[in-house]
Chains A and B, each alone.
Chain A
Amino acid sequence: MPKNIDEYLIEKGLFITAISSVVIILLIIVFIFWEGYPAILNIGFFDFLFGMEWSPSNDLYGIFPMIIGSLAITGLSLLMAIPLGIFCAIFMAEIAPKQMRKILRPTIQTLSGIPSVVYGFFGLIVLVPFMRVQFGGTGFSMFTASIILTVMILPIIVSVSEDAIKSVPSEYKEASMALGATHWQTIKNVLFPAAIPGIITSIILGMGRAIGETLAIIMVAGNVVQIPSSIFDPVRALTSNIAIEMGYATGIHYNALFATGIVLIFMILVLLVIANYFHYKKKVTVGGGYL
């Protein structure tokens, strides 16, 4: 029957589109490794990963200061974004009156939609001069970059955490309140512990975004290749290194930048595996509700 052949072809066609994301991700990994592998062979795995000097003109390609730079910026921004994000999520899920929610939700959405270049630009024009006046130095620093990143990862922490708190069965809350607990006691002892897997997932997602952010960091972090000794020192992140130098890199330098990309992919994969361990299914939230 021709109809069945049509159905069969359509199913196969749809199957091909479905595996496209797997094919794409494999292509990406293969190509980044293909271009980056020669550098790791040439420089040596340990000299590349743990080398303290990055100086392409002297054939020195050690990315350790930038690994520390990426982790330091990410850590500092998480330190600020986690409390603010979780408090804001609890506020949205439990405390805020309806009108306030109606303002906060599009606020979070817009914050997550603003291009990273605009954040970087705002940081460069407003935050960097402010830091220069307040704390001295050039104003370009790990701290400045972390503040910008905090704002950038806030939306994802708020939206996923809020979702996790909301999906705690309402019986839990009712039982706790019925036993005479205050609202805060209920949040602290019942809702928060029950929502922990989702909250951890939100933090990991935020961390992934922070590690991957590129241009906004370039614009405010100062980009000096060094291990920062204070939060007011300029630093360079792994992502920034690629974006700054790819424009003129050739030969082994070019390959070394792809090898930097391998390190980034590896970091993101580790985060994804950790996130999967918590088995928290992130819901797709758009606008005023779930689709």
Chain B
Amino acid sequence: MHRIISPKIAQKVMKLIFWISGIITILILLVIIGYVILKGMPVLNLEFIFGDPIDSGREGGIFPMIISSAYVTLIALLVATPLSMGAAIYLSEYASEGKLVAAIRFGAETLSSIPSIIFGLFGLAFFVIYLDMGWSVLSGGLTLALMALPTILATSEVSIESINKSYSEGSLALGATKWQTINRVVLPAALPGITTGIILGMGRAIAEAAAILYTVGAALAIPISIFDPARPLPLHLYILATEGISLENAYGTAAVLVIIIIIITVVTNTLVDRYSKKMMGR
């Protein structure tokens, strides 16, 4: 066999290429995060975090946007968590594989791949107009709930399924009913995994802007009632940047968002590490 390049040289060259692609990936992240945080740092201070925006965001802070983000995310999680946990329990403990379960899975899968702007359109047509909730924290929160649902569902289902079967068998053998077993044995054991799912769903809701563009309004005041319009952080950043309102405050808002995402990543990683050590002995 002819070979232009000997296997040994090919091995060395390819190893180098693999290393380069790994390093490029890390560099991409470092450049983006580094740039945003370095540029945002000078703006970040207590006045910016706890201040009200002045002159539609040209000056002042982002406190109402932080409250708006927290508010819509809270509503999204309050709605999505029970729905997706119930679904996860049903799929992993009750359902037997069949057409219906296949349909449920395909539904969840489709829900997680639908573009966020479609959720936005749906939220506008259904929550804002059809159910007459208006541009409000409620409409935005419910739209985000639909987006967070498949994330929490998938993570919860996997963590419930990974619970050692001997736990629930022991409980059933002691005469506990199925629900007692799930409620007292399976769910506590799966709790760290479910928590991770909820935090991931939270990350998805906090980062989203397209889905709430036409459901939450864009008010600059702090939302009090769930029927008040609001302006969560990503939406604020989008408006500041595209309308050229204030580059400085856009940097600050972007930095706050990136810091939130980094915190979420660190927390989920810590949770999963502890969880897998406890559950799988590694």
Residues of A within 8 A of B (CB): 3, 6-7, 10-11, 13-22, 24-25, 27-28, 31-32, 34-35, 83-84, 87-88, 90-92, 94-96, 100, 103-104, 106-111, 113-122, 124-126, 151, 154, 158, 181-185, 187, 205, 208, 211-215, 218-219, 239, 242-243, 246-247, 257-258, 261, 264-265, 268-269, 271-272, 276, 283-284, 286-291
Contact = CB atoms under 8 A, between A and B. Distances in A.
Contacts of A13: 86
Nearest to A181: B7
B241 A124 contact: yes
A268 B114 contact: yes
In the complex, the 7 A-B pairs of residues with the closest C-beta atoms, listed nearest first:
A212-B115, A17-B86, A287-B272, A115-B207, A87-B21, A22-B107, A18-B90
Given A25-B110, A212-B115, A287 B210 contact: no
Interface in B114-129: 114-122, 124-126
Given A22-B104, A31-B130, A272-B110, A286 B155 contact: yes
Which DSSP category, helix, strand, loop or mixed, fits chain B's interface?
A: helix
A16 to B, nearest CB: 8
A interface secondary structure, majority: helix
Contacts of A291: 155, 158-159, 162, 193, 196, 272, 275-276
Interface residues of B, number: 101
Contacts, number: 292
Contacts of A211: 115
A18 B273 contact: no
Interface stretch (B8-16, B47-55, B57-65, B223-231): B8-16
A18 B124 contact: no
B177 A113 contact: no
A24 B149 contact: yes
A120 B82 contact: no
Given A18-B95, A21-B149, A117 B238 contact: yes
A146 to B, nearest CB: 14
Contacts of A219: 238, 241-242
Contacts of B250: 121
Contacts of B109: 272
B116 A246 contact: no
A269 B17 CA distance: 35
Interface stretch (B70-78, B166-174, B262-270): B262-270
A207 to B, nearest CB: 10
B230 to A, nearest CB: 16
A265 B250 CA distance: 32
Q: Name which of A17, A104, A265 has the most chain B CB atoms within 10 A of its CB.
A: A17
A19 B104 contact: yes
B257 to A, nearest CB: 5
B104 A32 contact: no
Given A104-B25, A113-B261, A91 B19 contact: yes
Contact of A95 (B18, B146, B270, B272): B18
B45 to A, nearest CB: 20
Given A212-B117, A215-B238, A287-B271, A122 B35 contact: yes
